[in-house]
Amino acid sequence: MGVPGVIFDRDGTLIDFVRDEESGAVFTAFHPSHLRILPGAFEGLRLLLRSGFTLAIATNQPGVAKGHFSREAIGRTHDALLQRFKDEGVEFAAVEACLHHPVENPDGDRSLQVACDCRKPLPGMLDRIVSSLGFERARTWMVGDALSDVLAGEAAGLHSALVRPDRRCEACPLSDTLTTAVTGSILELCRRIAQTQTVS
Ligand SMILES: [Mg+2]
Ligand SMILES: [Zn+2]
């Protein structure tokens, strides 16, 4: 046995991508000022905590390996992210970030340019969280916005669920195989997951 858990992807699931209106560039947050918590996330995660779930984050962050930003930038951004959630009554028990990327790139940190076992869709981060927090896989969920999140969840023997606001996703054909259907609202998704854990 163990405790029920929900492991969240970061970008596109808990926080929005960053859009630079001047250049049109879209990138992932690497500074506290970039953080835009997606609507419904605070309320949904508070509901999960009240329903007895322990929460964690598992995020691919290949930007250091690619030379886009520093390892310290990720640390500062995650500290700020955790504080923002804590201020709203939501605590995460673990944060795992895969900093690796398998493609060689002279601009990036070469020590991170490796084929690892933690970059989603591989289940390495999820397995570490499950063992360190004592999650029961049959009552634990991986929630993300991409096919790689679903595949990582399935590889780790967890339930998987997708949150996609626009339904224009590559993983939508998979939705029939998901325990929880694709939904555009993280709050709605959290409500459905909470219902799986009703105390009798
Ligand atoms: Mg994502
Ligand atoms: Zn990795």
Tens of pLDDT, residue by residue over 31-82, are: 999 999 999 999 999 999 999 999 999 999 999 999 999 999 999 999 999 9
Q: How far, in Å, is the centroid of ligand 1 from the Cα of 105?
A: 23
- What is the amino acid identity at position 46? R
What separation in Å is there between the alpha carbon of 183 and the centre of ligand 1? 15
CA of 118 to the centre of ligand 2 (A): 4
Contact 100, 116 (CB under 8 A): yes
At 86 the pLDDT is 98
Contact 40, 165 (CB under 8 A): no
The rounded Å distance from CA 170 to ligand 1 centre is 13
Of the ligands numbered here, which is closest to the C-alpha atom of 61? 2
Q: Is the distance from CB of 49 to CB of 90 less than 8 angstroms?
A: yes
Question: Would you call the peptide bond into 4 cis, given omega within 30 degrees of 0 as the criterion?
Answer: no
Ligand nearest to the CA of 96: 2
197: helix, coil or strand? coil
Residues 6+ apart with CB under 8 A from 181: 175
Q: What is the DSSP letter of 13?
A: T
For residue 18, give the H/E element and its range: strand 18-19
User: Which tens digits make up the pLDDT trace of 7-17?
Assistant: 999 999 999 99
State which residues have CB under 5 angstroms from ligand 1, the bound ion: 9, 11-12, 145-146
Q: Give the strand pairing for 54-60 and 3-8.
A: parallel
Report CA(119)–ligand 1 centroid distance (Å): 12
CATH fold for the domain made of 3-195: Rossmann fold (3.40.50)
